[in-house]
Structure 1
Amino acid sequence: MTQKDQKILIIGTGTFGASTAYHLAKRGYTNITCIDKWPYPSLDSAGYDINKIIRTEYDEPLYAEMALEAIQAWRTPMYTDIFHETGWILTTLGDPKATDHLKKSYENLKNKGQAHNIDFVSGKDEIVRYVPQLKNARNIDNWKGLWNEQAGWAHAANAIKKVADEAAKMGVRFISGPSGEMVGLETEGDKVTGIRVKSGEIHHADKYILSTGAASPALLPELHTELWSKCWTYGLLELTEEEASQFRNMPVVLNHELGFFFEPSREGRLIKICNEFPGYQWRKGEFTDANGKTHKYSVPRYASEYPGDGIPEEAMNAIKHFISTVIPQFEGREIKGAKVCWCTDSPDAHYLIANHPKYPGGELLLATGDSGHAFKMLPIIGKYISNAVEGDFKPEWRYGNRKHLDSGRPGDEVKDLKDVGIGGPQARL
C-alpha cells in the first residue's frame, strides 16, 4: 500500500478539516473520510458564518506570508461570488499594543513588497475619504490606523461548502449525524486504533486528523493546557433596500477598542456587528491528572445546542454602543440573530498542527488551535496540514512548551458565561 492509498479519517468539517480534505484529495489521496456531528459546513464551526475578514496584516512574519498566499487563492475563480475585495480600514483609539501591532504589520507587508496597497489615516476626514459610509460617525477624530485595499471579506459558510463540495467531487466521503459525532478515542497502549462516535460505531483508519476546533479540549482533555476555548459575540442589523444600496461594497471597518462591521449580506440585507473584547469561557470541563488533581477548563456552549442563550447583556450593550458611535443613524433599531461564535486560542496564538506526543506512532495528527485567525487561510491551510501528514512540520506549530503571549484583543479579563447572564437574565434570540 502506498502512502496515498492509506485510509485517512478527518474529524471535523470546519475550516481546517474541509481544507485538509480538499488538499489531500488534490495530491491524489484516494481513501479520505470526514466525520462531523453536522453536515458540512458544520454548524458548530467558527467558519459557519455569513462573513469573515480576509486581510494580510500580521505582526508575525509567518502568518503575513501565509495571508498573502491566501489572498491570491481567494482571487481565483473557485471563490467567485464568495470573496469580496472591498479593502478594509484598521484603526485604534491609541491603545499602545494595537499601535505596535499596526507598525509591525506594516513592516512585514513592506518587507514583502506590499506597502503600496496601504495608506495611513488619522481623523474623520481621512477615514471618510476611504469609507464615506462613516460620514455620520461620532467621535472618530481620535481614530488612527491604516487603510489597505488588499483586504475584504468572504461568505464563510459558503466558502467551506465550496471547498468540501470540491473535495467530494474528488472522492472524499462525508459522514454526519450520530455516526459522525466523535465521543472518544480507541487505543491500545500508545497507539490509536479508532474513533468512537455517538452511534456506538468505531471508525478505523491509518491516519487520524483531529480538526475539531473549539471542541478539541472537550474531546481530548489533555489538550486543555494547549488550548483555551472561548467565544465571541455578534448581532445583526436588517437594512431596507435603499439603506443597503448606500452601504453596498463598503470596506470592512474595524476599531480595536470598539469592534467591527461589514457591508450588508447579499441575502437578507444584514449588517453583522462584532464588539471587541477578550472573549468568554465556559469552565464546565474537568480533567484529573496523574496526581489525582482535578483541573477545570473551558468547553463550548454552542448556539446549536442552546439556541435560547443569545448573548450576554453587556455584549449587547457593547454592540449598541458601537452602533451609536459608528453608524448612529441606526441607533435604537432591533438587533437580530445575536449569537456566540466559538474559537480556541493557543497560548502563543500559533496554530497547533503536530502529532500528538502521547502516540509516538504519529497516527494522530492535531490540526486545531485557530486562535481566532484561521478562516482567512481556508484556501491554503489544508496544504500545510497535508505537509504535516507527509512529515513536514512547521516548528512554530509544535505541541508543548509554548510561551503565553498577549492576544492583541482589548481588555484582560476573560469572564465565564455563567457570570454574565447565560442561563439567567440575558438577551434573547
Structure 2
Amino acid sequence: MNATINTPKKTGEKVAQGMMENVLAQFNSAAHHIDLHGDIQKILKITNNEIIVHFPVKMDNGSVEVFTGYRVQHNNALGPYKGGLRYHPTVDIDAARALAMWMTWKTSLTGLPFGGGKGGIQLDPTNYSTSELERITRRFTYALGDNIGPEHDIPAPDVNTNSQTMAWMADTFMSTRLPAKRSLNQHVVTGKPDGIGGLEGRDRATGYGVFLTIKKFLAKQNQILKNKTFIVQGFGNVGYWTAKFLEEEGALLVAVQDASASLYNPNGIEVDSLKNYISINDNSVGGFPRAEIIDKENFFALNCDLIIPAALGNQITEENASKIQAKLIAEGANGPINNEGEKILLSNNISIIPDILCNSGGVIASYFEWLQNRNGEVWQLEETLTKLNHKLEKSFNKVYAYAQEESIDMRKAAYCIAIKRIEKAYIQRGIFP
C-alpha cells in the first residue's frame, strides 16, 4: 500500500504570521487603553491548548493520504470553546491561534457563555470528491476525540465547510459515544442541517449580522442604505447573504471578487442572478456574463460607498489601503485588514466596523442552536432573526457609544469591552490554585 503524506505547506505561512501579528497588536492596544491587569494580560496572550492530529484516509482510488488537522483552544474563562473549522491551504497552527483569539473576543463582546477556539485541515477541498471529504471529516472528528464535546469545545462551519460537514462530524461524534449518551451529544457542533437539530436561519445569520451592523452604523450618520453602492470580496455564504439583504434595502452591488475573477458593473449586479450562475459553475463568479472582468489589483480602489471583505485575512494592507475610496468597510471576514492598512484607512477618515462585531451574527446563531439542542426545542426563522437583531443591536450600541466616549475607533472599543468582561471573570474567580 502506498501512502501519500499531505504535509502542511508554506502556502499560508506569511498570511498566518500576519494574522497573529494583527491580533496581538490589536489586543495590546486595547489592553493598554483599559490598563488590563498584567497577570491577566499574560494569560490572554497565549492559548490554553493546541491540538495537532495526523490521520490516514483512503482515497477513492484506493491510495492513502495522511492529513494534518488542527484545533486551538484559546480561552474558556467564560464558557466552552467555540469556533469554526476551515478546510483551506492556509490553515496551520499560527492561523488557528489567531482565529481562536478572535473568537474569544467575539464571544465575549456579544455576551455569550463561550470562549474561543478554531481549527481545520490544510487542504484544498476542490481536489477531493464528496465521498473523500466525508471520510476526511469523519476521520478528523475521530482523531480529535474528547478534545471536542458539547460542554467543552463546540466546532462550527467556516471557510469551505458547511452544514453537511457538521452533519458528518455530529454523526461521527455521537456514534462513538455510549448508546445511552448519544442523543445528549447532538450539540457537539453547530451549523447542522435543520433535519438533525440545526437552527432555521443559521445559514444567513452571519450575512444578516453584517447587513444589520452596516444599517445601524449608517443610521447613526443619518443615512440609509437605499442607493448606496457596495462591493463584496468573497461570494460564499457570508458574501451572498450580506449582498442579498443589502439589495433588499435598495443598495446596489457593483462589484464582486473571488479567487476566480474580479467583476464590475456600475449599473449593478443582480445578487440572485449571480448566485444562480455560481451554483452551476463550481461556485465561481468567473465568466458571469453581466459584468466586465477587471484587474484584481484595482478591486478595492473602485468608486463605491461600502466595502465588504468576506473572504480571507490580510486582504487590505498598506499596499492597497491608500487607494480605497469607500467611506465604510464592514468586515465580513476575520482579520481582512492588517494593522498598517488600518492606520492608513483611519487617517483617511474611513470607518471600519470590526470583525468581532460585524460578523458575530454567526456565533450568536450558533449559541441559539446550542441552546435549542440542549433544551429540546425547535426555533422558527422569525424567532431566530428577532433574537439575533436584539443581541446585535445591543452589542453595536455598546461599541459605538464606547468609541464615542473614549474618542477611539470601533475596533479598539470592541476589544476593550470584550477584554473587560473576561478580566472581570478572572478577578471574580481568581487563578487556580
TM-score between both structures, scaled by the size of structure 1: 0.23
Structure with bigger strand share is 1
Structure with bigger helix share is 2
Q: Which has the higher contact order (CA 8 A, sep 6+)?
A: 1
